[in-house]
Amino acid sequence: MDGNELYINGPQRMHGELLIQGSKNAALPILAAAVLGTGIFILHHCPRISDVEHMLEMLEDAGCRVKWEGHMLIVDTRYLDNYQVNGNGAGKMRSTVTLLGSILGRMHRVAIPYPGGCTIGKRPIDLHLKGLEQLGAVFEHQEHALVGSAQRLHGAEVYLDFPSVGATENILLASVLADGMTTIHGAAMEPEIVELASFLRKMGAKVRGDGTPVILIEGVKTLHAAEYIIPSDRIVAGTYLFGAMMTKGEARLLHVPMAHLGNIPKLLQQMGALVETEEDCIYVNMKRQCSSLPYVVTAPFPGFPTDLQSALVAALSTASGMSFIEEKIFEARFQIVPELQKMGASIASEESFALIDGNARLRGARVEAKELRGGAALIMAALAAEGETCIYGMEYVRRGYEDINGDLKKLGIVI
């Protein structure tokens, strides 16, 4: 067995309590934001995942110094002097693109490799570039790199055609040091945007309206270092909640900001679970087979997150009756379907929807994680399946889950 395979004998019932790791989708833009200030930053509860390691490689490449102490991350940006990001991780992950706005904001020039990451569709960055161009940036596409420059960035009225999280983050990062006022219309409202804005405010930025569709940024001259606690990862929490549903289990997840879960607790109740919530903790207990859901559509926050769609598809494959899911965010999100079919699931899918005929008795099989969230969902399916499942492609899962084996052990699972 190599480190990229995981073997699970099922069925197993999830039961236990778990402290949820720091959020990947909050940590990455916050690390990009640190580039804008000069000094020593301290980030607590930072997830030790491969995407964060890749981001740190790129920051080191730019001249930053980084050091881990447990889950505390110290980033010294005083020696940042390189606007060209290479780092091994640069082409491997999507969030490389978040450095566009922050390096431009600090150095007025930037060169990054084209972003990589998961294979869940086109995910064009034209919204990012269009927004940054309105602030005064000019981009040229070279063979292996995207190169941008701006003699000076200035405020602008930016209208986003779609509430893209990445584009909102990039425009926010580029505008905090720009001259004058910037207004982002049609901004993403995800919790990670609110976390980024509150981190920038700790650095001395003037940002208001985050968490609504209109964000106002008044440019300042300089930003300073800050200390911050990364919130827990709502997608990791959601993964384990669906795992508890599929295995007729119970789980208490601690240190989960409930406001970040949106409508998920309500959805779990619709599927038949007992759900109890406190301000930063959720308990779910499932005593019977999941109920099907006639129609679920993925949507920007506070709608159902596309990042949990694979886990929901897996759970509904074991539910009673027919369910229908429509995917409106990424066009290649159903890569998990053929893998679940190998395990006995009855699912028909087209590019943007899946029809799931529940009541499947999942069987162990050799399946492949083709992207981060689908890989985690296959692990949850393996818990509910009869016999041994081998999941290969675990390197994708490590992009967002710090120690999924350790988490599952704490939740009563034998791996």
Catalytic residues: 118
Pairing assessment for the beta strands 274-278 and 227-229 based on DSSP bridges: unpaired
Pairing assessment for the beta strands 5-10 and 387-392 based on DSSP bridges: antiparallel
**Beta pairing partners, 356:** 323, 347
SS3 labels along 251-285: EEEECCCHHHHCCHHHHHHHCCCEEEEECCEEEEE
DSSP per residue, 282-295: EEEE--SPPBP-S-
Alpha-carbon gap, residue 167 to 149, rounded angstroms: 17
What is residue 200's three-state secondary structure? Answer: helix
Helix ranges (DSSP H) in 62-98? none
**Beta pairing partners, 228:** 43
Show the beta-strand stretches assigned E in 281-392: 281-285, 296-297, 322-326, 346-349, 353-357, 366-368, 387-392
CB neighbourhood size of 289 (10 A): 17
Q: Six-digit token pair at 81?
A: 């002097």
Residue type, 207: V
Half-sphere exposure of 331 (CA within 13 A, CB side): 5
- Residues 6 or more apart whose Cβ sits within 8 Å of residue 396: 118, 369, 370, 371, 372, 374, 375
Q: Six-digit token pair at 8?
A: 């699970």
